Structure 1
């Protein structure tokens, strides 16, 4: 019985991640907006399995994704897409997230997503800003229902 309870406890964050991505796709279809990108899967790991982590706080999730994507878009616009420019964008994203105290490891992939996909500036709004904010809101509601305190801090 104890093993089953342990397995169930471990499944709960997985259900949170399922719910966040499923709702983001559903809301996206209803509004004709893209609200999901690959790094959001890793964001869900932090937001639902490690909600106490500083890396899972709203400032880090939204700020990290927005800043890293912005850097990817700027580097892509200024230098094009090359191995060196993708590496530069990732390095700059890491640096800027540290400077702004918005470190969010999944956001380190955002410049690569931008540059490999050839994303345009609208990508910053949808899926990045809207999608990351939606994950935070879903995580907030989810953890409130489970009586957990999330976020530890909003800023």
Structure 2
């Protein structure tokens, strides 16, 4: 199976044109990450963390994936961030907290049925940046919610345009 077609499983309106799906998915990621970066620059709010790039790959490139469900994206990021804080409170800011945070995040996301692989990097970000608990709100909650909302709107608009065209 062509890998490009596999990325658009569940998007029947674009299966015959995987190049088009790829361009649309890439443009969707460009728009939301660009918007978050512009807001960050205008407000000094830290709205972008590296895992959000990988989240965009899922919500725009494989929106039918269970890992791209809104619950998984938002709750997965929140839970993984929280596990990062738990690990650093137990073990300080070092190798053990990084490893434990990722392990805790995987277990907690699996138990809560909110697995979102990009969120597995959040404990690493927490251990390396040493943020305060407000990090769970900005950037994690605000950014993940913005990504989900924009992907839902963008994917619906792309589907409408493709069907009409």
- Alignment TM-score, normalising by the size of structure 1: 0.87
Shift of 1:6: 4.4
Residue 90 (structure 1) aligns with: 102
Other structure's SS at 1:26 match: helix
Aligned length: 144
Shift of 1:102: 0.4
Separation of aligned partners in 1, 2:56 and 2:152: 12
Separation of aligned partners in 2, 1:144 and 1:9: 13
Residue 136 (structure 1) aligns with: 148
Separation of aligned partners in 1, 2:75 and 2:58: 15
Residue 78 (structure 1) aligned to one of 57, 81, 90 = 90
Structure 2 gap ranges (5+)? 1-16, 161-165
Structure 1 gap ranges (5+)? 149-155
- The answer as to 2:78 corresponding to 1:66 is yes
Over aligned residue pairs, what C-alpha RMSD do you find?
1.4
Per-residue deviation, residues 94-152 of structure 1 (Å, max 9, x unmatched) = 0000000000000000000110111221111110000000000110110111127xxxx
Residue 53 (structure 2) aligns with: 41
Q: What is the 5 A alignment of 1:98-109?
A: 98-109=110-121
